Chain A
Amino acid sequence: MVDPMSPPPPPPPIPARAADVSIFVATILGVVVLIGALLSFDLFLARIDRRESDAHAADEYNEGARLLQQGRPSDAVERFGTAASIDRANVSYALGLAEAMLAAGRTTDAEATLRALLDRAENDGAVNLVMAHVMIREGKEQEAKAYFHRAIFGRWGADSLQQRRQARFELIDLLARRNDARELLAELLPFEEVSPDSLALRRRLGALFLRASSPARAADMFRDVLRRDPNDADAYAGMGEAALGLGNFRTAKADFAAAESLRPTDTEIARRAALSDTLVAIDPTARGLNAHERWARSMALVSRTLGALAACSAPPSAGADSARALLAQSSPTPARAWSSEKVVGLAVDLWSGRPPACDAMKPDDVLRLLQLRVAQ
C-alpha cells in the first residue's frame, strides 16, 4: 500500500546520456543563433555594399551624361557602361549607354543593348523611343514607327503626358518627312480632341494638318490661335494656307494681306499673298464672271495643264489631243460644242490622268491649287 498522503517519490535521476543531449540541444541552439547573427551581419554588409556601388554607379552615370552633353559620346559610353554593369537593374543606366552608343555611331551595339533592355522592360516608353531613334538611324523607318507607337502607349514615369506628346511629335515629324499624309493625319487627330494650350504648339499642329492635307482642321487650329492673339501674323498666314487648300482664294488673299500688314518684311508671306492674288485672278470657277472671262480662264487652265504635262513628258492621249485641238481654234468665245464647264472638266481629266512622273517634278503651286479648286 502506498500512502497517498506521503510525498511523491523523487523524480528518476537524470540519465547519464543527459549530458550528451544537453550538448546536442546547445549545439543546435548555437547553430540557430549563429544563423541569425550571420544573417544580420550579411544583410548589414550587403546594404553597405549596395549603397556604395549605387553611389559609384550614379557618379559614373552623371559623368557619362556630362560627357555626352559635351559631345564626347565615346567617353560617355565608357562611363555609362560602367554604371550599367554595376547596377544592371537600372534601366536609365542602360538607356544612357544605348543613347551614347547611338551618338557614337555604334548603332548595332545600341540596338543590342536596347533589345536586352526590352526583354525585361518591353513597355518602357523611353526605351522604345530610343529604339525608334536607332531604327531611324539604321534606315528601318517601318520598324521605327512601331517603336514610336510603343513609346507613345508605353510606360513613362513622371510627366508622362509631356513625354508621350514628345514621342508622338517625333513620329509625326517622321511621317511628315515621308509625306505620308494619311498616317500623319491619323497621328494628328488625337490632338484635335485634346487641343494643347500652347499657342506655339497649336500653330505647329495647324502647319502639320496642312501637310496632312486637312486644311479645314488646320484652319480650326489657326482660328483658335487668332482668337487668343489677333495679331499673330503666322496664324494669319496659316489661315491663308488653309484657305488656299480649301480653294477659298479670296479668303486666302484677305488672310495673307492681314499677315503682310502685321509683318510687312516677311518675303514668304508676300510671296504667298502674290500667289493668292494670282489665283483669284485666274480662277475659272470664281463667282460673278461673265461668259467670256470664264471661257478665257478655262482655256488658260487647259493650256497651263497641257504645258505641265508636256514638261513631264506625259504620253499622248485622246484628251490631250482634244485639248490641243480646242486650243488651236483660239476662239475668244465659247465654241459650239464646248462650254466653259466642259473645258474645265477636260483640264481636270487631263490632270487626274497625269503619270506619276509629273508629281515627282513638283508642278507649280498655281496649277496645283487651281486643279484642287476646280476638282472640288
Chain B
Amino acid sequence: MQSSPRGRSGASAGAMDERISAPTVTPPARPWYARLLELVEDFRRREDRLALALSLLIGALVGLTVVAFILLTGRLAAHMYPPGGEAAWRRIVVPTLGALATGYLLYRFFPNARGSGIPQTRAAIFVEDGRISLRTVLGKFLCCSASLASGIALGREGPSVQIGAGMSSVIGRRLGLSAQQVRWLLPVGASAALAAAFNTPIAAILFSLEEIMGDMHAPILGSVVLSSTTSWMVLHLVLGDEPLFHVAPYHLIAPSELGIYAVLGIIGGFGSVAFVRMLLGLRRAFARLPEWTVWCQPVVGGLCVGAFGYFVPQVLGVGYEQVDHALSGDIVLRLLVLLAVLKIVATAVCYASGNAGGIFGPTMFIGAMLGGAVGQIAHGLLPATTASPGAYALVGMGTAFAGIIRTPLTSVIMIFEVTRNYAIIVPLMISNLLAFYISQKFQREPIYEALSRQDGLHLPAGDVRGMSRQLRVSAAMRPATSVLSADLPAADARRRVGEAAVGSWPVVDAGGLVGMLRAADLIAAVENGHASAPIRELVDAGEAADDGMWYVHRDHPLGLALARMGAAHHTVLPVVSRKNARVLLGTVTLPDILCAYGVERVDEVPGVREATEANTAE
C-alpha cells in the first residue's frame, strides 16, 4: 500500500500519513468448504436441531424400510402360496423348508437376528450402549421376511422394531454420536417401525416409552413422537389410508355387558399365562438341546405349524386376515376356539425353536379369537343385551396384549386408535386390567424380561427403569477389591476377614461371583467345627439361586439397593454386570449409600474407616 500523495508536514501529518497509509488488511476469504465445515460443526453441536433432523430422517427411513418389509413379505408369500396353488402338501413343505433355510442363515450369518427383536432392542439400549449391527438389521429383514412368508406363525412387529432401532443405531454411530445419544435414538427408530408395522402411531409412541424404555417421561419423548408421525405419514403415502383392521362401529348395548367383558378379561388373563408359560418352557427345553442342533431347531416350528396348517390353513402366517374376519364376526365359534388354541401352540413352538419373528402379531390373533369366541357365546345366549361378536374380538385383542406383553396403557390406546371410539374404553379397561392382574399374579415376570433372562441378560424391569432420575448404584459403588475365594477353608477365611467391620463378603470362583457370605455366619461356622469346610458351602443356598434379589446392577437406584440389603440381610451387595450376573463389577455398602445421599461423611460412619483400610490392605 502506498502513502497518500497529499502534502502534510510535521509529526501530526506524519502520524496521519501513517494512519492513512496503514494497510487495510482484509482477512483472506475463507474457502467454501471451511464455511460449510463450520456450519455443519455448529449444527452438530446443537443437540436440539440434530435431534429434530434425525427424528424426521429416521422416521422416514424406518417407515419406508418397514413398508418394504411388509410388501416384500407379501410378495414372497404370494410366490410361495400362489393363487390356485393352495395344495395341502404345500402347507407342510413350505413352512418346513422356510424354517430350515432361515434357521441355517440365522445360525451361520445372523445369530443376533433370531426371535422377536424387542428383547434384543432393549438389550441394545441397556447393555450394549445402543449398538445393533448392520448385519443384524439385514439378517432380521431377510430372515423374517422369508420366515413369515413361508407361513411361520409369528409376527412382523417385533422384527420391525429391531430393524428400526438397528437402523437408528447404525446411523447414530456413523454420525459419530455419543453412546448416550445413540441409545436415545433406538426408541426413536423403534416407534417409527411400530407406527408403520401396526398403523397405530400413538400406540407406537407409548409402546416405545412404556415397554422399550420403561419410562413414560423419557427426555426423548419429542423425538419419538416426531419419528412415529413421520413414519405413519410415509406408510399412508405409499399404501394409502386403508386401516390394518376393519371394525364395525362399536356400541355398548347394555351395562350388564361389562360383566361379560370381565369374563373375557379373566379368560384372556389365563390364556396369556398359558401362552407365556408354554413359550418359556419350550424355549428352556430347546436351549438344553446340543449346540450343534441350533441351526435345525427352527424346523420343529416349521413342521408344527405346517402340520396344523395342513388341517387348518388359517393358522399359517401372521394371520391378520383371520383377525379381520373375527372382527367382522365371520368365523364360527368352533373355528375361533380351534384357532386360538392352535395359534398358542404354534407360536410358542415356532418362537421357542428359534425362528425369526415376533409375538406381538400372534398376541393380537390369539386375543381376537378368544374374544370372538366369548362374544359368540354371549351373543348366542343374550342376543338382545350384547354387542356383535366382533366387538368382543376387538376387546380380546387388547386383553391378550395386556396379559402377554403387559403394557396396559399401550393396549388400551392401541385398540382405541384402531376403533377411534370412546365407547370402547371402559369395557377395554375392565378386561385389560383383569387380564393384566391375573397374568401378573400367575406369571411374575413379563415375557420380554423373562426371554432376556433366559438369554442370560438381566435387563432392568419396568418399575426400575421408571426410577431413571434417581440416584443410581454407580454413584456409590466401589471396586470389589476384597473378595473371598470359594474354595478357601472357613478358618483361613475367618483369619482374612479378621476384625474388619464389613458384615458381608463376596465369594468368587473361577467362573465369577458365587454369592455373598456374612461374617457372622463364617465365625459361627468356625466355632461350630466347620473350620476346614470350603466357604462355598456357607454361601446361602438362596443366594446361589438366580433370584436376583442379592445383587444389584450399576443402573439400579440406590433405594432398590437399600431394599435388597434389608431383604438379604447384607450390609454389602455385589454390583454385577447385566450381561452376566457372575461378573463382579464392584460392591456397594450401606455407608456408601448413606454418603451418596449426603446423610453421612464416609469417614464418620462407624466401621467404614476400618472397611476402607481393609480394602486398601487387600
Contact = CB atoms under 8 A, between A and B. Distances in A.
Interface of A: 1-4, 8-9, 11-12, 14-15, 17-18, 20-21, 23-25, 27-28, 31-32, 34-35, 38-39, 41-43, 45-46, 48-49, 52, 56, 85, 88-89, 112, 116
A17 B23 contact: no
A25 B171 CA distance: 12
B71 A32 contact: no
Nearest to B41: A21
Given A11-B34, A31-B61, A39-B64, 7 more contacts: A1-B22, A14-B37, A25-B36, A27-B174, A28-B53, A38-B68, A45-B75
Given A4-B23, A27-B171, A39-B238, A52 B40 contact: no
B176 A23 contact: yes
B503 interface: no
Given A23-B176, A42-B71, A46-B238, A32 B28 contact: no
Interface string B26-51: 00111101101100110010000000
Contacts of A28: 53, 57, 175
A42 B64 contact: yes
Interface string B1-14: 10000000000000
B239 interface: yes
18 contacts: A2-B1, A3-B23, A11-B34, A12-B34, A14-B33, A21-B37, A21-B40, A21-B41, A23-B174, A23-B176, A38-B61, A38-B64, A42-B238, A45-B75, A46-B71, A49-B74, A56-B83, A88-B242
Nearest to A112: B248
B68 A11 contact: no
Contacts of A49: 71, 74-75
SS of A interface (majority) = helix
Contact of A52 (B28, B34, B78): B78
Nearest to A44: B71
B175 A27 contact: yes
Interface of B: 1, 22-23, 25, 28-31, 33-34, 36-37, 40-41, 44, 53, 57, 60-61, 64-65, 67-68, 71-72, 74-75, 78, 83, 171, 174-176, 234, 238-239, 242, 246, 248, 321, 324
From B22, B31, B41, B72, name the one whose CB has the most chain A CB atoms within 10 angstroms. Answer: B41
B452 to A, nearest CB: 30
B71 A45 contact: yes
A116 B248 contact: yes
Contacts of A52: 78
Contact of A1 (B23, B44, B60, B171): B23
Nearest to A30: B174
Contacts of A12: 30, 34
Nearest to B72: A45
A151 B65 CA distance: 46
Nearest to B44: A24
Nearest to A15: B37
Given A11-B28, A42-B71, A45-B71, A32 B57 contact: yes
Contacts of B61: 31, 34-35, 38
Contacts of A112: 248
Nearest to A17: B41
B427 to A, nearest CB: 21
Contact of B37 (A1, A18, A56, A85): A18
A7 to B, nearest CB: 10
A8 B22 CA distance: 17
B68 A24 contact: no
B235 to A, nearest CB: 9
Contact of A31 (B22, B74, B171, B239): B171
